[in-house]
Structure 1
């Protein structure tokens, strides 16, 4: 169950938008008798050391991070920053007379359970198994629901997308066809000056080390990233190379899928990138091509190798369709010969994928070793997959969501500036 729920707190049904900036926080050295101390005050709300320690436990349990004293010292400031933002968001919701109902909270939890393939009650069971504070986790979920709701209420009516903007977006997408595109996740750690705090550099290096040892990227991004993508585990979706900052694109284009970069320094801060996949934009993946395949196998009756090759050479010369191949080979090949049916190239073993991708329709392949004999393959038909542009409604929604995200970040920044924030550790 722990493996199933490592992304439990990330795939939230109600996605909130985070844009955190650093506060002057020194990592705490917490003793048991200090648990009732105040960690921070946000306007009239108090974040206690108990609240903070409970959230640290959640971060460690869901991220597969080592439970060490050194790591706790490193992650506590980042977690406190997130908790301060949550208090600001919930307070803003209350001023708009919005409070998360029990029904909304239950619906979000049920959605989490369903998306993670767990039965009803698996949320509570996960918390109990890992001895996590239910109050702490529910507080995080409530903050996300509250923020998503008030942002929608406040800005939805003010966002408009013109038809000319959709036309321009379609034109840009067409121009990008065939260019490199990357599916990436990010963790962003901001810095305020040209000479960042050495502790931030050490923290970034430590995160990379933990990620390469198996820590969950989604969970760590959710807990520590200071970008707007934090609420979705740092997921940026498919990004064109020229849409990335130069410092990042120069690294990403040389990465292999399922790898994590070193911390990448930009003028804003440090980025840690996880490359999940790469492709050419709006270009069909050859592995998605659907083919109908026929095979012939010879040499099952202790035939000499020279005779096996001669039979296949003759079939290659005299057969231009799969029907001709089966007719011409009757009585000379194994009973295992025949149609293999239709499927995508990606469904074949790795060693055959490249082979069948290069075979022309109606052409018999070169011989392949098969047990004590040889076999050859013929592609009977090929149906290339197609990639179409998003429709106008999808593009409209994408533009509107980007504007909503920008307005939400500005609103949170303004709320934070107006708030009284007193960090006491």
Structure 2
């Protein structure tokens, strides 16, 4: 299901130079925007059309004109941040045409449903204006300024309104018809929780994704070719989130492709194999899977629950490595007294500040395995709330308070999050199948 467009302003994107595959997706360079038009009346939904235009496609006797296609190409390029070349322009034209065909099919189907069931599904002009206001606010603009920025790129407001109308209406229909009937059983949620817990000792990945449906793209070869061009565009500066919103058919498209933290086994095995090789900040090459092609951006990575994270605070007395035994012993006695007065982590700093020559510090959270050898044993053996005996290091004498301890990766197995993710996946799959059925039964002629 195509995501609601979220325009990545500015619309004119200059390539930043092609970074290596190890570099994170670049951000589009700023460009000046026109001043917002004075607030007068709501933008009109019917701008002037050119005097001459020809037929680009016919969908069940409904015409898509060459003007419609040119306008959608402009909108697609502007909102995805891509910089087309002579080689890639045909691919963007095909994607624009596929989007227009899909939206015509969606609106035709929704009109049929409205007539048969006597319900209102298709978004009204007022609802589109509300959506436009939200989009403009995300770009720190008023609706008039937002449309002025579009106009500067040669894009009519009607083109944006038509896309918003189709996407809002289709999402409303899919969620309304299937969302209330779709039941994610507790057995499914528990099975997913059990699998995630079992995988908790494995590395976990924070990822963003673009998924190109091979059926929609015209076959696997076409999907791979399109994904390859998108990877090149992202490396040259197109924002990943904007590309995901315009091109991805995954349920995460509306969120700019952000899939959050995942464990091995949640993605196809081909994706898992690539994730294992990526480093944070890296962008994958196209990854073919059964039904399409993935592009993965690895935002972050962490070790599994086999590691223990510990939160520490300390009270310390500075002592050089050359300190005498008498100096060390005097410091030890003082710290033993401080230790006896420490009641909890919350009041540790205030308690320590009462003793001259002793400083308190918050060491934050770290994996036990990353701690210095002197601190590691105390962090492993002490329970939360306990305070260590004085520990000698090269720079001083310390007592450690364990303020928290948890398995890394724990806490990610959340019931509601799992249910929401499974629901989104099911609705996305239903929408893709619905669209395939509409395409198969439609009469579509391209010129």
TM-score (norm 1): 0.70
Instruction: Report what 2:68 is aligned to.
Output: 51
Counterpart contact for 1:79–1:224, Cα < 8 Å: no
Counterpart contact for 1:282–1:387, Cα < 8 Å: no
The offset of 1:92, in angstroms, is: 1.6
Distance 1:311 1:226, change over 3 A: same
After TM superposition, list the pairs within 5 Å mapping 1:64-79 onto structure 2. Answer: 64-79=81-96
239-248 or 128-137: which moved more? 128-137
Counterpart contact for 1:187–1:221, Cα < 8 Å: yes
Counterpart contact for 1:100–1:146, Cα < 8 Å: yes
Pairing partner for 1:278 from 279, 287, 301: 301
Counterpart contact for 1:319–1:328, Cα < 8 Å: no
Counterpart contact for 2:271–2:287, Cα < 8 Å: yes
The offset of 1:100, in angstroms, is: 0.8
Counterpart contact for 1:298–1:308, Cα < 8 Å: no
Pairing partner for 1:87 from 101, 104, 111: 104
CA–CA separation in structure 1 for the residues paired with 2:65 and 2:333: 81
Counterpart contact for 1:96–1:150, Cα < 8 Å: no
Counterpart contact for 2:79–2:246, Cα < 8 Å: no
Aligned length: 372
The offset of 1:253, in angstroms, is: 0.9
Instruction: Report what 2:401 is aligned to.
Output: 380
CA–CA separation in structure 2 for the residues paired with 1:40 and 1:357: 70
CA–CA separation in structure 2 for the residues paired with 1:269 and 1:377: 57
Distance 1:148 1:180, change over 3 A: same
Distance 1:160 1:68, change over 3 A: closer
CA–CA separation in structure 1 for the residues paired with 2:180 and 2:428: 14
Pairing partner for 1:175 from 198, 212, 228: 198
Instruction: Report what 2:322 is aligned to.
Output: 306
Instruction: Report what 2:14 is aligned to.
Output: none
CA–CA separation in structure 1 for the residues paired with 2:329 and 2:108: 79
Instruction: Report what 1:150 is aligned to.
Output: 173
CA–CA separation in structure 2 for the residues paired with 1:354 and 1:223: 45
After TM superposition, list the pairs within 5 Å mapping 1:7-406 onto structure 2. Answer: 36-97=53-114, 98-114=121-137, 116=138, 118=140, 120-121=142-143, 123-124=146-147, 126-128=149-151, 130-191=153-214, 197=221, 201-279=224-302, 286=309, 290-294=311-315, 296-297=317-318, 306-307=322-323, 315=331, 319-320=335-336, 323=339, 338-340=359-361, 344-345=364-365, 358=376, 360=379, 361-362=387-388, 379-384=400-405, 387=411, 389-391=413-415, 395-406=418-429
CA–CA separation in structure 2 for the residues paired with 1:78 and 1:100: 24
CA–CA separation in structure 1 for the residues paired with 2:423 and 2:364: 36
CA–CA separation in structure 1 for the residues paired with 2:236 and 2:329: 51
RMSD: 4.3
CA–CA separation in structure 1 for the residues paired with 2:245 and 2:184: 30
Structure 1, unaligned runs of 5 or more: 10-32, 300-304, 347-352, 369-373
CA–CA separation in structure 2 for the residues paired with 1:79 and 1:147: 18
Instruction: Report what 1:6 is aligned to.
Output: 8
Structure 2, unaligned runs of 5 or more: 1-5, 12-49, 115-120, 342-350, 380-386
| Residue-by-residue CA offset, 1:308-363 (whole Å, 9 max, x unaligned) | 999578646863575579989966x5xxx6234x58448xxxxxx85598474546
The offset of 1:252, in angstroms, is: 0.9
